[in-house]
Structure 1
Amino acid sequence: MLGWGLLLLWGVVGTMGFVVFPLGFGLDDDVASVFPSLVARVDVLVVGAGPAGSAAAFHAARRGFEVLLVDQAVFPRDKTCGDGLTPRAMHELEALGVADAVGVGGYRNRGLMLHGFGASVECPWPKPGPVAGFAPVGSAMRRTQLDWLLASHACEQPGVRALGGAVVRDPVVVDGRLRSVVVASAGGADRAELRVEPRWVIVADGARSTLSKQLGRVWHKEHVYGIAARSYCESPLGSDPWIHSHLELKDPQSGDVLPGYGWIFPLGDGSVNLGCGALSTSRRPAKVNTKKLLRTYRQSCVGQAEGWEFSEPEGVASAVLPMGGAVSNVAGKNWALIGDAAGCVNPLNGEGIDYALETARLAVELLDDTPGRVLTDLWPGVLRATYGPAFSLARELGRLLTLPWFLPAAGPVGMRSGVMPTAARLMGNVVTPEDRDVVARVWRAAGGAAFGLSRRLGSADQLWGTQN
């Protein structure tokens, strides 16, 4: 069994052979002197070992592929994230066989509690329908722990080899097919290099994916994208059964309403992930310093209710995320972008882990030896069929939220109308194709209409489109 604690260097010695070194040895000059010419041929190269990449490696190995999983970092490593796991994510983690290991001490939450405009509303995770659905349970886990869990689990599968502390660069693309890449130590230009010639490539190295840019991915910032900052605080809320979201942020000194929203995700270990974010477009950029907003948000939360106390924040980090599939050029003949690299983030709640896990599974299901099988149009088509309606509607609703007058006008009405539990279900896209209730049918119909309109207006071309 191969653990993430091993750094695996692939080479060809007669037939393909493997040289194993302890983690931290890296691809060093001594190795280069022993193997001056290194070439590896693999079934599936997975770039990035976050939730998307590790899940893809797991599924590919289960389908009998030999997999090389590469990440720039040496694990464990941190990642800027809210750390929340919706029922949709828990469903995928169950399929991976790791759900029982998620959450410190088995921590689980019951749903979302929304705050703002003078009210607080409990929004439990919806119960599954009579045909199918997601179990009404969520969780949260620091990405240092979750990503380590998923990467280790992937590396335990026969056929998976892992390489940490390595960058993937210099893709050679011929007629739309990715023929080879160079895998080099992240330690510098003078370190050893490995040329990998894969049959299939899954690119899962995140929103700022370097390899995606080299392959021609375009991020369309005229559509909503997210900016956010997160921190960790010790708090009596650390095991609270609700995740909290503030739709109305106010300066505690002046009382002025601030742009953005805030969240508190209990982690089950006496701490919370406390963060804030805002939606932005190139036309209406969010004029906010998220790290400064984070400090203000924490101050406003202290003493809001019993137990609402927070230590000084640690691990403050920020990120920018493409959302709602607003990227194009996400596939070639034998390669596909998944997860954050493909803009698979929900514009209404910023959730991306569930879509990372789902797109990993969906992409691997396309990898086979069917004659003429190419992913160039096939993979964007799968993404549009699976997420197009919901993401199209979410993008338009997200665009409304960038209007400074919209939430102050709509928020008070919504918080007092009794529709927020339904809204929370839709915001989290906790709706399956099998759900037949009225809310699910209306959501799908509205999403289909939004997607159809975007196609007529041409903006659907930027929803995982192909642009030359």
Structure 2
Amino acid sequence: MEQNYDYDVIVVGAGPAGTCTAIHAARSGLQVLLLDQRTLPREKACGDGLSSMALAELNRIGALKRLLEVPHTPVQKIAYHAPDGRSVTVPILKMDESLPATGIICRRILLDNLLAEMAVEAGVEVVDWCRVRSLMVREGQACGVRAERGGGREMAWTARVVVGADGSESVVARQMDMPRYREFRALAVRGYFRQVLGIRGNIEIHFPEESLPGYVWFHPTETSVTNVGLALPMDVVKQGNIKPKQVLRRALESPGLAERFAFAEQMGELEAGVLPVGNPMREVHGNGFVLVGDAAGLVNPCSSEGITNALISARIAGPVIADACLSGSCDEAALRQYPYQLWKEIGPSIEMGGRLLGLRTPKAIGSLIRSAARRPHNAGWISGVLLGSALPSEDLESFLGYINFFAK
């Protein structure tokens, strides 16, 4: 006898990955419930940057035009600063010439709120201030959630598929006994500063020697406020007993940056967060469930950027879930196309990013920045190498051999 469900899909987490998965699923004709533990709209610690590839994904669902109507800062160039003081400013590679923007800085509260509005318009039921406590499991297959709504109200809903979009410490992943992959993590620290001198509307990437192979970013917002942050691989943090907040503060007090922060005012506290780094061997689905975004661990290991891959995971997950629901089976085999398509699309860039991170030394960075300054026609290409994003499509081994030349 056919089981009756409250919904076809329950999505846990209303960040970009979860909300866009809900949108794709609803547009495929599914009944979707989207849950978030906080009251919407809410802030989220993030670098606030949206790459050209992220904008292309948002354009696919009709969100880009509307996003460009909310406060944001368009960016077309990145300035790279080597440990030896050399710098170069290069254009951001544009993935789609038809797009009206190359890259933008937009606060997450605005992006997430816009996507939530679009989810409601697509027919998604959105319930906020609702913390999922556990999953319902029948014969080893996820089939719903138990949650607590504000005020201690106990809630429970059933669904054919549960989507974990609830971050690096995903309740869905834990409840379904997924591997933790703690060796694939990075740490980010972010804060906002008013009146940073010399901000000219470009993204800035600084490579202080103390932070390598991590980096410091400056992202200008639409006001006089700058999003300033640091990203470091977790193994570096642990091995060196590093305190990232102190590393960031020391970087901002270094000779190259101290003058620029002489009159700067920090707004609020520095916030730290764990970044689940991508690994193509990672398990991201099972019986009755899939993981997307940070819950699936899709952060680029070199750039530490996660929104692009989060949006890609949503775009792939939605139709796969719809096909499974239509087939009448939502077990592990029915959802297997999701990891297959996901890692086929983003696996090469994640592998490349990890290998480039290992080459991020003061000497290699200095050589690449000098090369970009001498060869402007290669500047955009070298930009992708330095940050590990928007990488060229050449053969992996020959490309890495070329990069190794700079590291010698």
Change in Cα spacing, 1:248 to 1:383, as seen in structure 2 (3 Å) is: same
The residue matched to 1:416 in structure 2 has which SS?
Answer: helix
Cα distance between partner residues in 2 of 1:352 and 1:202: 18
**Percent identical:** 31
Corresponding residue number in structure 1 for 2:327: 370
C-alpha distance in 2 between matches for 1:136 and 1:339? 23
Change (3 A) 1:206 1:196: same
Give yes or no for the alignment of 1:247 onto 2:201. Answer: no
- Whether the 8 Å contact between 1:327 and 1:342 is mirrored in structure 2 is no
- Whether the aligned pair in 2 keeps the contact of 1:51 and 1:353 (CA below 8 Å) is yes
Q: Measure, in 2, the Cα distance between the counterparts of 1:262 and 1:246.
A: 5
Please state how far the C-alpha of 1:82 moved relative to its aligned partner.
Answer: 0.9
- Deviation, structure 1 residue 359: 0.7
Alpha-carbon spacing, 1:371–1:61, altered in 2? closer, same or farther (3 Å): closer
Alpha carbons 1:238, 1:272 under 8 Å: kept: no
> Who is 1:423 aligned against?
382
Match of 1:18 in 2: none
Unaligned runs of 5+ in 2: 373-377, 401-408
Tell me whether 1:206 sits opposite 2:167 in the alignment.
yes
SS state at 1:219 partner: coil
Q: Is the 8 A contact 1:57 1:160 kept in 2?
A: yes
Select which of 386, 389, 393 maps to 1:440.
Answer: 393
Report the CA distance shift for 1:336/1:285 in structure 2 as closer, same or farther (over 3 A).
Answer: farther
Show the counterpart of 1:192. Answer: 153
Structure 1 residue 96: Cα displacement: 2.5
Given that residues 144 and 156 in structure 2 are in contact (C-alpha distance below 8 angstroms), is that contact kept between their aligned partners in structure 1?
yes
Q: 8 Å contact 2:72–2:221 — kept in the other structure? A: no
Contact between 1:220 and 1:327, CA under 8 Å: does it hold in 2?
Answer: no
Task: Give aligned pairs, total.
Answer: 382
User: Partner of 1:170 in structure 2?
Assistant: 134
Query: Quick check: 1:109–1:241 contact (8 Å CA) kept in 2?
Result: yes
Residue 112 to residue 192, structure 1, CA distance change in 2 (3 Å): same
Alignment CA distance shift 1:387-1:357 (3 Å): same
Once the two structures are superposed, what CA deviation does each residue of 1:5-35 show, in whole Å capped at 9, x if it has no partner?
xxxxxxxxxxxxxxxxxxxxxxxxxxxxxxx
Tell me the distance in 2 between the aligned counterparts of 1:220 and 1:318. Answer: 19
**CA pair 111-378 structure 1, distance change in 2 beyond 3 A:** same
Equivalences for residues 273-292 of structure 1 within 5 A: 273-281=227-235, 285-292=239-246
Of the three residues 65, 68, 74, the one matched with 1:108 is: 74
Q: RMSD over aligned Cα, in angstroms?
A: 2.9
Q: Secondary structure at the match of 1:76?
A: coil
List aligned pairs for 1:80-229, cutoff 5 A.
Answer: 80-102=45-67, 105-116=71-82, 117-128=84-95, 137-157=102-122, 159-187=123-151, 191-223=152-184, 225-229=185-189
One-letter code aligned to 1:219: R
For the residues of structure 2 that align with 1:144 and 1:276, how far apart are their CA atoms?
20
After TM superposition, list the pairs within 5 Å mapping 1:3-18 onto structure 2.
none
Shift of 1:170: 2.4
Verify: 1:44 aligned to 2:9, yes or no.
yes
For the 8 Å contact 2:137–2:144, the answer to whether it is kept is yes
Report Cα offsets for 1:349-370 as digits up to 9, x if no partner. 1111111111111100102213
The answer to which structure has the higher helix fraction is 2
In structure 1, the gaps of 5 or more residues are 1-38, 250-256, 432-438, 448-468
DSSP 3-state at the match of 2:131: strand
Whether the 8 Å CA contact 1:346–1:352 is kept in 2: the answer is yes
Amino acid corresponding to residue 241 of structure 1 in structure 2:
G
Give 1:303 deviation, angstroms: 5.5
Q: Distance in 2 between matches of 1:316 and 1:291?
A: 7
Q: Which residue number corresponds to residue 363 of structure 2?
A: 409
Distance 1:128 1:396, change over 3 A: closer
1:270 shift after superposition: 1.7
Shift of 1:48: 0.2
Distance 1:332 1:444, change over 3 A: farther
> How far apart, CA to CA, are the structure 2 residues paired with 1:246 and 1:283?
18
Partner amino acid, structure 1, of 2:181: H
Q: TM-score, normalised by structure 1?
A: 0.74
Provide the C-alpha distance between the structure 1 equivalents of 2:135 and 2:339, rounded to a whole number of angstroms: 21
Contact persistence 1:239–1:269 (CA under 8 A): no
Q: 1:445 to 1:379 in 2, by over 3 A?
A: farther
Q: How far did residue 94 of structure 1 move?
A: 1.6
1:381 matched to which residue of 2? 340
For the residues of structure 1 that align with 2:236 and 2:172, how far apart are their CA atoms? 24
AA at the equivalent of 2:75: N
C-alpha contact (below 8 Å) 2:11/2:165 kept by paired residues: yes
Structure 1's 163 and 371: CA in aligned 2 closer, same or farther, altered over 3 A? closer
Note the C-alpha offset of 1:273. Answer: 0.4
Q: Greater shift after overlay, 93-102 or 350-359? A: 93-102
Residue of structure 2 equivalent to 1:343: 297
**Structure 2 Cα separation of the partners of residues 78 and 106 of structure 1:** 15
TM-superposed deviation, 1:208: 1.6
Q: Give me the whole-angstrom Cα distance separating, in 2, the residues matched to 1:82 and 1:56.
A: 22
